[in-house]
Amino acid sequence: MTDDRESRVIAAFEQLPELVAHDQNLLRRGTYLTVELMVEIGTVPFYLSIAGGRLVALERGPALMRPWTFAFRATAEAWSRFWQPVPEAGWHDIFALMKRKQASIEGDLRPFMANLQFIKDLLAAPRRVFEGS
C-alpha cells in the first residue's frame, strides 16, 4: 500500500467524531456503553473514549500505558477495502476481516459482544468519507 493510500485511510478515521456525532440511530444503540477502546490502522493506534454511546475523545497514539477495554486491529489495506461504499465479499464486515486474518480483536470481549451492532456501525462510519471519492 502506498503511503498516500495509508494516509487517506488514517485521515478518514480521524473524521470519526464528526461522522458519528449526529447519527441518532448510532447514539441510541450505544446508550448503555461506556468504554475505552483502541483501534489500530496498520501500526497507528487510536484511542476512543465512549461514554453513554457518544464518542467523547479520539486520540492518535501511541500512548505509553494507555488503558483500553478491548482493541480492534487491522491492516491499512483491510480498512481501505472495508470502507469502500460497497465492499467486496470478504471485506464487508469486521468478522470477515478477522476470517481473512487481516484483523484481530483482543481484550475484554463482553462489552464488544453486548454492543456488537454499535461497534460494527461505529467502525464502518468512515465509509461515508469514501462514498464521494
Confidence label for 129 from pLDDT (cuts 50, 70 and 90): confident
Tell me if 38 is assigned to some domain.
Answer: yes
Tell me if 39 is assigned to some domain.
Answer: yes
User: Could you tell me if 10 and 45 are in contact, meaning their C-beta atoms sit under 8 angstroms apart?
Assistant: no
Cα-only R_g, the chain: 14
Write out the residue range of the structural domain in which residue 116 sits. 3-128
Please give the Cα distance from 24 to 26 (Å, whole number).
Answer: 5
Other CB atoms within 10 A of residue 33 CB:
19
Tell me if 64 is assigned to some domain.
Answer: yes
User: What's 124's domain CATH number?
Assistant: 3.30.1050.10
- The dihedrals phi and psi of 73, each to the nearest 5 degrees, come to -120, 140
* Total structural domains within the chain: 1
Task: Please determine, for residue 12, whether its predicted confidence score (pLDDT) is greater than 70.
Answer: yes
The pTM of the full predicted model, rounded to 2 decimals, is 0.92
33-89 residue pLDDT tens: 999 999 999 999 999 999 999 999 999 988 888 999 999 999 999 999 999 999 999
